[in-house]
């Protein structure tokens, strides 16, 4: 799609508005819309459209807040959720004075990561294929104040509702038994299918949808692998679509990693590979059909994983999921089968084109532009420094002796630890000016002041059961 194509599409679709979407630092889409008169020619694609960025999370302060959105014509589609015909595009952000890419715009980070890969000569394209999990609830109530704190999840599928009064027909997936049940236990097939259909309407290719392990409507929708920037765009679309389709049905969606105690959390296993031309660079004759270059990429991921966690697992709730046991992928090792390892090499197909890694620790609350870029930079650093990933962890992790387990490093146990690791280890992110010191400092400061510290100040409801009569 070119600007000319977009102008033609506006006329053909009878669009009356153009909706401009961009991503804030933490990973939430923001938008504003303008009438078609603002898009009568191609100037908007060159000059951009101005807006006040002072209220966007993690962006400029009020004294330097004027910003420009630059629409990407290749992202133009018909908005699926507006009453009036509306054409929407995803935008990158520029400084209006220098006309340089704004360094705190996550989409610009992803664009620079792709450019850096090419500049190294290692490869031409990095493919990403995330598997985001999420919950579809019937309702959610929560509040916290000086004298009380609670959350209450409403789910017609929740195993805890087998004894609910009124019309109760049963068929609720038991805890940890929600993987692939048919109807009527899986009551959300049609809702997920509608999500897929809307995703397809905006150009996203979907591989499958299904119920996930947990009770209470845990779901997964997998998109076919795509280049880094395009997949980050797709993931933003996917989350937006899932939420809005759920609302149509009087339901609500959360990508929160651990909303339920005692059942599986929601992760986002992320498949990735690097190609040069038509050559898949991870295919070889080594372990699990992998190349030496591919193993060094894994070495980079494992070496930098404690710092990557600040971007791939960016909320305090992320670490309710990353705990020992429950098949949590906290062990910083790789394997062709072991799902408790942080990195897995899928062996579904012997084809060289299918050779990829699956990084298992990320979760879907991440900002995909930052998380994908950070993982690529870690992998490239592993290749450039020829980092050794060590021996594969093909043993049953639960059968290891304490001394054997002590030799396997693990993921951080909290967001605070992850941020401390990022503070110590981020030089690899600065290569090619992909990330900047300013962005990293802003990220750490925001997370510490707005999330880590406020959590420290508040008593946890479970503490009353532990300590009220101490």
Which of 411, 380, 394, 228 is CA-nearest to residue 296?
Answer: 380
- The C-alpha angle 204, 206, 208, rounded to 5 degrees, equals 165
The mean pLDDT of the chain is 94
Percentage, residues of the chain above pLDDT 90 = 86
Mean pLDDT of 2-30: 96
**409 has a pLDDT exceeding 70:** yes
Q: Is 212 a catalytic residue?
A: yes
Residue by residue, DSSP assigns 99-148 as -PBPTT-HHHHHHHHHHHHHHHTS-SEEEEEEEEEEEEESEEEEEE-SS-
pTM of the predicted structure, to 2 decimals: 0.96
From the list 111, 360, 363, 451, the catalytic residue is: 360
pLDDT at residue 63 in the model:
53
Q: Mind listing the pLDDT tens digit for each residue in 123-153?
A: 999 999 999 999 999 999 999 999 999 999 9
pLDDT at residue 64 in the model:
61
Q: Mind listing the pLDDT tens digit for each residue in 242-290?
A: 999 999 999 999 999 999 999 999 999 999 999 999 999 999 999 999 9
pLDDT at residue 280 in the model:
97
Q: Is 339 a catalytic residue?
A: yes
From the list 24, 79, 105, 133, the catalytic residue is: 133
Consecutive H or E run containing 335: strand 331-335
From the list 212, 222, 233, 381, the catalytic residue is: 212
From the list 243, 269, 303, 356, the catalytic residue is: 269
Q: Is 220 a catalytic residue?
A: yes
Measured CA to CA, the distance from residue 338 to residue 168 in angstroms comes to 39
Mean pLDDT of 40-54: 91
- Candidate ranges 22-31, 163-172, 387-396; pick with highest mean pLDDT: 22-31
Judge whether 270 and 129 are in contact, CB under 8 Å.
Answer: yes
From the list 174, 337, 339, 385, the catalytic residue is: 339
Q: Is 131 a catalytic residue?
A: yes
Q: Mind listing the pLDDT tens digit for each residue in 351-362?
A: 999 999 999 999
What is the three-class DSSP state of 267? coil
Which of 421, 426, 460 is CA-nearest to residue 440?
Answer: 426
Q: Is 79 a catalytic residue?
A: no
From the list 79, 94, 114, 220, the catalytic residue is: 220
Tokens (6 digits) for 9: 């599409």
Residue by residue, DSSP assigns 392-409 as ---S-GGGS-HHHHHTS-
- Cα atoms in the Cβ-side hemisphere of radius 13 Å centred on 309: 32
Q: Is 52 a catalytic residue?
A: yes
Q: Are strands 17-23 and 86-94 parallel, antiparallel or unpaired?
A: parallel
Mean pLDDT of 384-395: 92
Q: What is the band of 338 on the pLDDT scale with cuts at 50, 70, 90?
A: confident
Q: Mind listing the pLDDT tens digit for each residue in 449-470?
A: 999 999 999 999 999 999 999 9
Mean pLDDT of 183-208: 97
Q: What are phi and psi of 278, to 5 degrees?
A: -95, 10
Residues 6+ apart with CB under 8 A from 446: 25, 26, 57, 58
pLDDT at residue 340 in the model:
80
pLDDT at residue 350 in the model:
84
Residues 6+ apart with CB under 8 A from 50: 66, 67, 68, 96
From the list 72, 131, 157, 363, the catalytic residue is: 131
Which of 88, 365, 72, 366 is CA-nearest to residue 201?
Answer: 88
Say how many C-beta atoms besides its own lie within 10 A of residue 223's C-beta.
22
DSSP label at residue 410 = B
Residue by residue, DSSP assigns 160-189 as GGTT-SSS-----PPTT--SSPPTTT---H
Q: Name the residue with higher pLDDT: 264 or 406.
A: 264
Q: What is the band of 395 on the pLDDT scale with cuts at 50, 70, 90?
A: confident
Q: What are phi and psi of 317, to 5 degrees?
A: -70, -20
From the list 52, 190, 292, 463, the catalytic residue is: 52
From the list 114, 186, 358, 363, the catalytic residue is: 358
Q: Is 463 a catalytic residue?
A: no
What is the three-class DSSP state of 417? helix
pLDDT at residue 61 in the model:
65
């Amino acid at each position: 799609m070119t600007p000319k194509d977009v102008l033609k599409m506006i006329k053909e679709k009878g669009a009356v508005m153009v909706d401009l979407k961009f991503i804030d630092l933490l990973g939430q889409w923001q938008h504003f819309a303008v009438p078609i008169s603002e898009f009568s020619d191609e100037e908007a694609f060159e000059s951009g459209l101005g807006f006040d960025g002072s209220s966007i999370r993690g962006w400029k302060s009020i004294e330097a807040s004027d910003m420009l959105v630059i629409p990407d014509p290749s992202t133009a589609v018909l908005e699926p959720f507006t009453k009036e015909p509306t054409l929407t595009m995803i935008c990158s952000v520029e400084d209006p004075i220098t006309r340089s890419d704004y360094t705190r715009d996550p989409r610009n980070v992803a664009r620079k990561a792709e450019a850096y890969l090419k500049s190294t000569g290692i490869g031409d394209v990095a493919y990403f294929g995330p598997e985001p999990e999420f919950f579809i609830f019937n309702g959610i109530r929560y509040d916290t104040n000086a004298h009380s704190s609670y959350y209450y999840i409403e789910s017609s599928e929740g195993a805890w509702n087998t004894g609910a009064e009124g019309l109760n027909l049963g068929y609720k997936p038991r805890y940890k038994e929600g993987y692939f049940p048919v109807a009527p236990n899986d009551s959300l097939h049609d809702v997920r299918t509608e999500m897929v259909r809307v995703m397809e309407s905006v150009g996203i290719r979907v591989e499958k949808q299904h119920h996930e392990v947990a009770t209470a409507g845990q779901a997964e929708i997998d998109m076919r692998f795509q280049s880094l920037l395009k997949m980050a765009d797709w993931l933003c679309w996917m989350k937006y679509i899932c939420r809005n389709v759920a609302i149509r049905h009087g339901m609500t969606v959360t990508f929160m990693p651990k909303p339920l105690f005692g059942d599986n959390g929601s992760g986002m296993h992320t498949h990735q590979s690097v190609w040069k031309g038509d050559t898949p660079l991870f295919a070889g004759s080594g372990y699990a059909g992998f190349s030496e270059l591919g193993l060094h990429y894994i070495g980079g991921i494992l070496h930098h994983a404690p710092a990557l966690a600040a971007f791939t697992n960016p909320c305090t709730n992320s670490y309710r999921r990353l705990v020992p046991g429950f098949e949590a992928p906290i062990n910083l090792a790789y394997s062709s089968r072991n799902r408790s390892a942080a990195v897995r090499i899928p062996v579904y197909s012997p084809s060289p084109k299918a050779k990829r890694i699956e990084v298992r620790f990320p979760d879907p609350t991440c900002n995909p532009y930052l998380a994908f870029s950070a993982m690529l930079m870690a992998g490239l650093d592993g290749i450039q420094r020829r980092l050794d990933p060590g021996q594969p962890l093909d043993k049953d992790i639960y059968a290891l002796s304490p001394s054997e387990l002590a030799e396997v490093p693990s993921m951080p146990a909290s967001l605070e630890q992850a941020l401390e690791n990022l503070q110590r280890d981020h030089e690899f992110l600065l290569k090619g000016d992909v990330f900047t010191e300013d962005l990293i400092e802003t990220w750490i400061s925001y997370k510490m002041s707005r999330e880590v510290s406020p959590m420290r100040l508040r008593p946890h409801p479970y503490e009353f059961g532990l300590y009220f009569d101490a």
